Amino acid sequence: MMKKFQLFQIAMVAMVLLGIFGCSKQQERYEDPPWLGGSTIETLEKKGDYTIFLKLMEQANYKIPIEKQLFTLFVPNDASFKTYFQKNGIPSVESLTKDQSVQLFTLHVLRNPRSKFQLIYEYLYNELQGPDGEYAALFFRKPTLSTSIPYQETVKYYPPQKGKTLLMYTGDKLVPLFSKDYFEDFFGAVDGSDYKFMYPGSTWAGNMNWGNAAITESEVRTSNGFVYFIDQVIPPQKSIEEYLKDNQDKYGLYYDILQRFAVYGNTMVDENRRVLYRKSYDLVSNIAEEQGAFTGNEARMKDMFTAYIPSDQVLQEYLNRKIFKSYPTLDSVPKVTLFYILQTQLSRSVGLPSKITKSYFNSFGDPTPISMSDIKSAQMCSNGVFYEMNRVLEPNVFTTVPGNLFFEAKYSTFLYALNQSNLLGGLSNPNEHVTLFAPTNEQIEKYNIRYNSIKAAIEYKGADNLWKNMNLLDLIIFVQDHIYNGRLEDLSGEGYVEMSSKNYIRYSKGEIQACENLRIRDKVTIAETIPNDRNGILYNINNVIKSKYLMGKWLLNDREVSKFKDLLVKVGMLDTRLKDPNTRDSIPNLKFLAEADYWTGLIPTNDAMLKAEAAGEIPTQTEELKKFLLYHFVRRNVIFDDGLKSGEFSSNMIDEVTPTGVKYATLKFTNVLHNLSIEDRKGNVIKVDHSKANILVRKGVVHKISSVLKY
């Protein structure tokens, strides 16, 4: 056996040596096939009309890499360069600096050789895309090594560098390869009309264009790559950010608003020891990002921005009509209003004219009709399409119920609260009717809530008398207390309605009160009614709807029910000492209320408790006492004496535990307007005195009753 193994090893070594020497001998005999031609540079020299491109290559120090490595070149002829130089006031190729030469040349180069098929269908997600693939020709943007030459910028608003002049750098530019296949796969216009609109003055080759240039001869194979001949020079590419910066005579107003969201970071030190900064934008789409709306290898090649930017005149007219009636300057306008104005003009996908005029959804998912008459001009930038607009695009949030708040200074705090609670989106759906009650800044601050513009935060002042960031859950409940899901048109009668917070308000003859309003005896009245044809009603109100009144707090405050309260404390169901750790507000905790969102408390008065004690009806054992107490709370239902809800409802006392779940002891309600009666398990019927009914608390309602409930 050992001998056979040794023979096997000898045979393997021989095969490896044969393979090595055999490969070496084959390499010596290898010759380029006759159809391949010479190198890329030899091919261009032989054609004779590409001397300027070759000179540009040399000035950019790319001649040796092009000779020794594999590339794809997009090459304009000498006449194209002369036209480009004349148009841009450039005397000759020799007058370009080293940086200018590199910037220009690298827009005409792709690393690695690419056939026509490989250009159109990228190798991504570990496979070569193809006509029948999921993504097909959608990866149309090609990364180059071109960047903007570092330029100076004076910071206008960003606090850490405000007023400083910084040296800026950009990421690598991408050039779009628009093909007939792309327009087919992206459902655009294959006749070239989309392309010619985005590239005014360019020619559609009918099959494939590199940036602004038509490819006149494609897939010329050389020994070290591919050459594509094009009819124009690809000029230095500006991002949408750079285009706006350089055209402030037309778009300076939009650009000025945008700078309030600018951030300067990602520093680097160049070979000359200069510190360079990279610009980006916070909250709004980062149109300074060369990769586009989505970063990463695949995403950046598939998507780019579209900017629908109104001219200064158009935007100024809009601001005069909407903003400056209430706000004296842009600096005084809420940042959330400015955000929506800016972001609605920015999209994260290519806006082909043939598509957006049929159907277009803005950044917030709102359907927005656009016609060709709305677009004055077009410009392709390195990270997206730039359209100059004859109108300002508006988001749904401006034209639905909350819209008026964006433009009225006295409601800015409530607007910020809506935004920071992430509830604005739900108010702007045209298919969902809402009723919104909006208190003024002054009224909200009287309630110890304010907006801190320096911290950009909603603050609350609690029992410690200090202003601190408001707890997010408290903020959400505060806002939801002012939202009714539906159209609440008639408040002239009397009744109770559930707000979005799941707390209830009482309305009577046009006046509104939540539980805390009732406790402190203040009323909310409507100062102005603003119907909205799209999705509901906005009520401007003269007070805050206040619901910070817990059932536990009511039990502590109402002396008429102190005996029942004392028993809750005795068995550990009511914690009277609990305080908010942030604000030090007292928050007596009726612990089991966390189990459900809706509760009805049926609380015996002290007289009722004395009668029950005398009759021996109050248990003395702890567990039985707990059951007795829990039987006086109805879980998951809020029942008023409004004549609406009748029937059997579960109390919070567990009757039995079965394999199928927990069963709760029930109570039977007979509900006639202002005449509510309750029947317990013993068959006793207790009538609720209307004058002692309907005490609103957070999470529900309480009725004081004249007899204990028996189970």
How far is the CA of 580 from the CAs of 28, 435, 470, 514, 558, in angstroms?
Answer: 84, 31, 12, 22, 22
pLDDT at 690 over 60: yes
- Count Cβ atoms within 10 A of the Cβ of residue 51 and give its class: 0-12 exposed, 13-18 middle, 19 or more buried: middle
What's residue 34's pLDDT?
53
The confidence band for 658, taking pLDDT boundaries of 50, 70 and 90, is: confident
Distance between CA atoms of residues 320 and 327, nearest Å: 10
What's residue 556's pLDDT?
96
CATH of 398-541 given 1.20.1290.10, 3.55.30.10, 2.30.180.10, 3.90.550.10: 2.30.180.10
User: Is the CB of residue 336 less than 8 Å from the CB of residue 415?
Assistant: yes
Mean pLDDT of the chain: 94
Count of Cβ atoms closer than 10 Å to residue 205 Cβ: 20
CATH of 256-394 given 2.30.180, 2.40.50, 1.10.150, 1.20.120: 2.30.180
Distance between CA atoms of residues 177 and 380, nearest Å: 12
For domain 34-143+179-236, give the CATH number: 2.30.180.10
Distance between CA atoms of residues 642 and 295, nearest Å: 58
Q: Which residue has the tokens 């039977």?
A: 668
Q: Which residue has the tokens 């298919």?
A: 431
What's residue 5's pLDDT?
37
User: Is the CB of residue 615 less than 8 Å from the CB of residue 711?
Assistant: no
How far is the CA of 490 from the CAs of 12, 257, 272, 421, in angstroms?
Answer: 94, 41, 73, 28
HSE (CB half, 13 Å, CA atoms) of 219?
A: 10
% of the chain at pLDDT higher than 90: 91
pLDDT at 7 over 70: no
Distance between CA atoms of residues 196 and 200, nearest Å: 6
592-609 pLDDT per residue, tens: 999 999 999 999 999 999
% of the chain at pLDDT higher than 70: 95
Parse the chain into domains and list their residue ranges. 34-143+179-236, 256-394, 398-541, 551-705
pLDDT at 10 over 50: no
422-464 pLDDT per residue, tens: 999 899 999 999 999 999 999 999 999 999 999 999 999 999 9
The reported pTM is: 0.89
Classified by CATH at the fold level, domain 551-705 comes out as: FAS1 domain (2.30.180)
pLDDT at 507 over 60: yes
The better pLDDT of the pair 126, 64 is held by: 64
